[in-house]
Amino acid sequence: MKVTIKPMTPGVPRAARVRAYAASVFVTLGLAGAAMKAWALQVDDGDHYRALAERQHAMRLDIPAPRGEVSDVNGRPLAISADADSIWANPHEVRDLTVTAEKLAAIIGGEPAMLEAKLAGDRRFVWLDRHVTPAVAKAVRDAKLAGIEVASEPRRWYPAKSVAGPVIGRADIDGNGLDGIELSMNDLLMGKRGAVTALRDARGRKMLADELAPATPGARVRLTLDRSIQAIADEALAESVTANEAKNGVVVVLDVATSKVLAMSSYPTFDPNAGAVHGARNRPVTDAYEAGSVMKIFTVAAALEEGAVKPTTGFVTGTGFRVRGRPRPSRPGHRAGRAG
């Protein structure tokens, strides 16, 4: 029995059908290849390309946390934070390195070659100048240089200047405590930085997304120091050290009822706004001293309590004492004393 297969397209020449079948095969193979490529891009290498896309279109911006305030016992500020303008750049967005560096050097100062080296890096963020004056910040904004931005960040200020300078200490340009109260209480004062996700459009302009983690301000620290008493003690100590041609000196003022420290002065001192001075430190808590005459109070008090001496008893101390086998005479005016 002979079976005859009729063509699906009667009336169409065989050659035309062959061409149609061949075209279908090529189209099918093309679609299959495109599907395989799409699978490779979206599934096999999807994580890799997603990471690249995030780097190009998304950026995470840190939000600095305001550093906590340091105040005296009456609430008067000794250390505060205020916003200051800083200049930064995204080297990937800079169009002409040489021209941009020259224009920036004319505004913020510095050598054009050094600025050009910073702008030629592969990073997307680099500081160019920090804590600039409002006039400099305005000049940079007006220049409208591609890739150059002006941002506000907290800067540490010390309203009392050198008053209690060694006690308060100072923080660096990034808000980290370096010495004094700023260092010892740094964890409380620095707070917690926030972050926000920003997106870039096709032209590279930033658009903030919804994910915002607000910054947590640092804690406020109130000291027992009295700013007025501290200023008086600082001035008196400076005058005394200068008049007696001494190398340094200390003064500590206590509240006799509570033993709270009302003033703690050191000389030489420094203004934290201008940075530290060589040799200036909080000497009452950092330096070691011989007990010396301070111990006489306890010795005489014990003798009076035991009845071994009377308030009118005198002591001859002119013979001095020995330190490591060497005689060390008493100072003039300390040759004799009374128990009372």
What are the structural domains of the chain?
A: 80-159 (3.90.1310.10), 290-340 (no CATH)
**Is it the case that residue 207 has pLDDT exceeding 70?**
no
Lowest mean pLDDT among 40-49, 185-194, 298-307, 315-324: 315-324
Catalytic residue, chosen from 162, 228, 293, 330, is 293
Does the annotation mark 293 as catalytic? yes
Between residues 23 and 225, which one has the greater pLDDT?
225
Share of the chain above pLDDT 70, in %: 79
Could you identify the residue written with the tokens 């303008």?
85
Average pLDDT over residues 252-257: 93
Average pLDDT over residues 133-156: 91
Share of the chain above pLDDT 90, in %: 44
Average pLDDT over residues 274-300: 82
| Mean pLDDT, the chain, whole residue set | 83
Beta bridge partners of 109: none
Name the pTM for this structure: 0.66
CA distance 56 to 214: 24
Task: Please answer whether residues 237 and 264 qualify as being in contact, where contact means their C-beta atoms are separated by less than 8 angstroms.
Answer: no
Average pLDDT over residues 194-211: 61
Task: Please answer whether residues 280 and 268 qualify as being in contact, where contact means their C-beta atoms are separated by less than 8 angstroms.
Answer: yes
pLDDT of res. 45 = 74
pLDDT of res. 333 = 43
Task: Please answer whether residues 115 and 94 qualify as being in contact, where contact means their C-beta atoms are separated by less than 8 angstroms.
Answer: no
pLDDT of res. 299 = 85
pLDDT of res. 332 = 47
Band of pLDDT at residue 273, cut at 50, 70 and 90: very high
Band of pLDDT at residue 340, cut at 50, 70 and 90: very low
Strands 148-157 and 77-89: antiparallel
pLDDT of res. 7 = 60
Strands 221-222 and 70-71: parallel
Q: What φ, ψ does residue 107 adopt, rounded to 5°? A: -95, -50
Q: Is 316 exposed, middle or buried (0-12, 13-18, 19+ CB in 10 A)?
A: exposed
**Is it the case that residue 250 has pLDDT exceeding 60?**
yes
Average pLDDT over residues 162-176: 93
**Is it the case that residue 233 has pLDDT exceeding 90?**
yes
Short-list 157, 158, 154, 156, CA closest to 85: 154
CA distance 222 to 259: 16
Band of pLDDT at residue 33, cut at 50, 70 and 90: confident
Lowest mean pLDDT among 145-159, 169-183, 236-250, 319-333: 319-333
Band of pLDDT at residue 11, cut at 50, 70 and 90: low
Task: Please answer whether residues 224 and 73 qualify as being in contact, where contact means their C-beta atoms are separated by less than 8 angstroms.
Answer: yes
